[in-house]
Structure 1
Amino acid sequence: MFIQTEPTPNPDALKFLPGRVVAEGAGMAFDDAASAAASPLAHALFGLHGVAGVFFGPDHVAVTRSPSGPDWTQLKPHVLTTIMDHFMSGAPLLREGATGADHASSDADDEIVAEIKALLDSRVRPAVAQDGGDILFEAFDAETGVLTLRMRGACAGCPSSTATLKAGVEQMMRHYVPEVTAVEAAA
């Protein structure tokens, strides 16, 4: 098995491409060891000294290192081995009963929110996934027009994520959904 790596705009995150499907459907983010218990692979990665975040995309695993931990020259071989061991073992990505979906539209969504989510899914999320991350709908305030989005994976904490939200996502949302007046990152 050969795993390619790609840098991301976030210097503390690397994208690992195992050459197979990783997560079908929505991406899955694990921000701490407690949440990683739902996934054998995420749990094993958090067992490595210096891993601060794990994100599963459709065809990749994005790993974020702690800035105070080992640098990538020390951490990368251990991450590669852990990912390879997981996929070679045939173990499932998630433990039985665990789910990774948390962004789907619901019947309770009004027309504007449904339009925002559709635009995110068709235009924004694929582009953000190329950088090893994901972006999810958090909230829309119809009175103020403020759309709140959550950045995950390599995009969470990335120095350029604010520029991505303001220069890219906000302009596009305001163009296609005039009710949106501003886009902000979730705290």
Structure 2
Amino acid sequence: MQDIKITIQETTNNTIIKFNTNQILINGGSYEYNNIDEAKNSPLAQQLFYLPFVKKIFITANFIAIQRFDILEWSDVQDEVAEQIEDYLNDKGIVVNETSNSSKKEAIEVYAEVTPNPSVMKFGSNKALTQTDVEYKNIDEASKSSPLAQAIFNFPFVKEVFISDNYISVTKYDMVEWNEVFAEVRTFIREYLVEGKTIIKELPNQEKSTSVEITQEPEIQLEGISAQISDILDEYIKPAVAGDGGNIAFRSYDEENKIVNVVLQGACSGCPSSTATLKNGIESLLQEMLPNQVNQVIAING
């Protein structure tokens, strides 16, 4: 029997609630259903639509978001819905029948893009890859959770792999130049995605592998200055660094010394310009938006 756990997370829209899972539900991308007829390829969504208050269902790799009608409040039913989803998943119920589309290959494009870090190349795609950012330092880490990352590590020059929303950042050793190998890697990734192979089979578990960095959305229990810092990073910093194939995640806030710790991943990790970006960009922005609350930002390479 599987050990799938559901945690409930509120959203900024009080009619929508997220049911997060500790395991991967689908192989990348997302599915949105407005009624039971649209949900023909999702037995789970069809079952949930039998609940009279369910208006819309959104399924991603590691959460199910449900929008309700205004006939009740989520506080009245959310625990029962979470239990229903958890029981369904642990009974190995099908979330989305993705194989139904396997005969028709997706029109997937993959492009290569240089980053400020000369060791890292960003491979962007028009296909959503994951809802949870993951970074792998070696093939052993990748073999535990991501067949795609594991396959990329088969290139002898690959040092690290970072998978985010719709791109993959690959860090190379100095044995080759990117202009010699990027086309081969781009073609490989595109063919892998077109064939519908598994991107991430399960989320890395920090208890099993403490060296694998996992970056998820901020936990809702963040409060005060910590919550404000996390929101600022999400809104102002993450989109900018994602454009360069990197990621920044809030780690902690020392209220006494007013020190912020962040994790740099992907192209940001080990980038020669990351220190300057940290001081001139992130630190200055936080100090401006949170006066007298931030003395220093310290980066930890993922």
- 1:164 paired to 2:277: yes
Aligned to 2:203: 98
Aligned to 2:67: none
- 1:33 paired to 2:146: no
Alignment of 1:1-187 (within 5 A): 1-24=108-131, 26-37=132-143, 38-67=145-174, 69-95=175-201, 97-98=202-203, 102-178=215-291, 179-186=293-300
CA root-mean-square deviation = 1.8
CA distance in 1, matches of 2:214, 2:269: 18
What is the CA distance between 1:7 and its match in structure 2?
0.6
What is the CA distance between 1:59 and its match in structure 2?
1.9
CA distance in 2, matches of 1:107, 1:81: 39
> What SS is found at the alignment partner of 1:120?
helix
Tell me, yes or no, if the aligned pair for 2:133 and 2:216 is still in contact at 8 Å.
no
* Percent of aligned positions that are identical: 32
* Regions of 4+ moved over 6 Å: none
What is the CA distance between 1:86 and its match in structure 2?
1.5
Segments of 5+ residues of structure 1 without an aligned counterpart are: none
Tell me, yes or no, if the aligned pair for 1:12 and 1:66 is still in contact at 8 Å.
yes
Residues paired across the two proteins, number? 184
The letter for the 2-side match of 1:119 is I
The letter for the 1-side match of 2:300 is A
Higher relative contact order (CA 8 A, sep 6+): 1
CA distance in 2, matches of 1:117, 1:71: 36
What is the CA distance between 1:109 and its match in structure 2?
2.4
1:82-130 Cα offsets, whole Å, 9 max, x none, are 21231022022111x3258534333542311111111111111111100
Tell me, yes or no, if the aligned pair for 2:241 and 2:248 is still in contact at 8 Å.
yes
Alignment TM-score, normalising by the size of structure 2 = 0.57
Q: Which is worse superposed, 72-81 or 153-162?
A: 72-81
CA distance in 1, matches of 2:264, 2:219: 20
CA distance in 2, matches of 1:138, 1:125: 14
CA distance in 1, matches of 2:164, 2:282: 20
Tell me, yes or no, if the aligned pair for 2:161 and 2:169 is still in contact at 8 Å.
yes
> What SS is found at the alignment partner of 1:17?
strand
- Structure 1 residues 106 and 46: alpha-carbon distance in aligned structure 2, compared to 1, 3 A threshold: same
Alignment TM-score, normalising by the size of structure 1 = 0.90
1:61-80 Cα offsets, whole Å, 9 max, x none, are 1111012x222133323312
| Higher Cα radius of gyration | 2
The letter for the 2-side match of 1:54 is V
The letter for the 2-side match of 1:98 is L
What is the CA distance between 1:2 and its match in structure 2?
3.8
